Amino acid sequence: MSEKDSAGMARMPASRSDTVDESRSRVRQAIVDAVAELVRGGGVAAVTMTRTAEGAGISRTALDEYFSYTEVLLLAWREQQVSRYLAHLRGEAGSGVDPMETLRTVLDVYSVMLQQSSTAGTPAVLHDAHQHRVVDEHRQAFLTDLIREAVGQGADPTASCCRVRTDLDPSQLADLALNAVNGAVSAPTPEAARVLAGEIFDMLSGPG
């Protein structure tokens, strides 16, 4: 066998693997999209394994290969919501928007998202699992960057009146904010979630 043929054969498994990965990614996205459609139509209580499989156009057995139970489906849906929103905010943050105003918006909208996705019919295990997942490295890094920008803004006498506190490191403030905002899952109304977000923002912009 020539060196060229040998190299070609060596590349074949990688090509197959890429194709399989792409296919699985498409199916997983179809599943999460089906969950989103069910939530829009009837809230989180409308999400079941059978309905999700039907919405995604796959069998229930195939669905089990991706997600083992309903709570995991809901977590995947919620994670996608947050990831898309943060991607949007990253774009805004890079376009000259006041970092303190962006920070205020992040806390407000994220708090409401948590409150609205935590209805009375949501299983408690979803809250517990999400509590561990919400403070992931991407969100923590994003908030840390925003807070660091706000610290730099504080040195500008022409900047807005709000200043981020400086008695703690930006990464520590991001950790505090993300842990505190988890309290929105227990807020009775979106308005209550917004009040919580305002209190967290005040904590971040307190004296330092």
Give the tens place of pLDDT for each residue, 138-197: 778 888 888 888 877 654 545 545 678 888 999 999 999 988 988 887 888 999 999 999
Per the structure, the complete domain to which residue 113 belongs is given by 70-208
Please tell me the pTM assigned to this model. Answer: 0.58
> In terms of domains, do 52 and 99 share one?
no
CA atoms within 13 A on the CB side of 171: 4
CATH number of the domain that 168 lies in? Answer: 1.10.357.10
- Give me the helix-helix angle, 170-181 and 137-153, nearest 10°: 120
* Cβ proximity of 164 and 173 under 8 Å: yes
> In terms of domains, do 52 and 76 share one?
no
Q: Determine the Cα–Cα distance for residues 142 and 93; give it in Å rounded to an integer.
A: 10
Phi/psi at 135 (nearest 5 deg)?
-90, 65
